[in-house]
Amino acid sequence: MTTIPAATEAPADFLAFLDRVGAALGAVYTGDAQPYSDLWPERDDVTLFGGWGTVEQGRADVTRTFRWAASRFSDGVMEPVDYRVVAVDGDLAYTVGFERGMARVDGGEPAPMVLRVTHGFRKIGGRWWLTHRHADFPPTDPR
């Protein structure tokens, strides 16, 4: 469920983790935050700058916000994540891209949704984890 830039040089285990992230984000569009929450470590330094304005730190608060956000969605379908940048250096990585799909929010009519998203990642104990998410709705280009 991902689109990776052609020139990306990243370890196979990280690219496999991005596929898990994409599938987990797709579950959020149907109202299920658990697969996405499972990708975050039990740490106090994980952070969220959410698309609806929430700012959280620590796994408990971050994943509670994911449950709240997912509870607003139903019957959604997400396109593959459109990564524009995938960068890995040792045990740290980040991605920059777009999440797009059709979403029913708060029981409304299905509507297109686009978020621009930056994720931070860290390899802990030999396993990749999400450690930061910053998402927002792209503003209109004023140019």
Q: Where are the domains of the chain?
A: 2-136
Average pLDDT across the chain, whole number: 94
> What residues contact 89, with CB distance under 8 A and at least 6 apart?
none
Q: What is the pLDDT of residues 23-72, one digit of tens each?
A: 999 999 999 999 999 999 999 999 999 988 899 999 999 999 999 999 99
* pLDDT tens-digit readout, 35-48: 999 999 999 999 99
* CATH for the 2-136 domain, from 3.90.1150.10, 3.50.50.60, 3.10.450.50, 3.40.190.10: 3.10.450.50
Q: Which position has the token pair 């930056």?
A: 118
d(CA 57, CA 141): 30
Q: Among residues of the chain, what percentage have pLDDT more than 70?
A: 97
Task: Determine the pLDDT at residue 43.
Answer: 97
Could you tell me how many residues make up the chain? 143
**Terminal-residue alpha carbon distance, the chain:** 32
Dihedral (CA of 15, 105, 113, 110) sign? positive
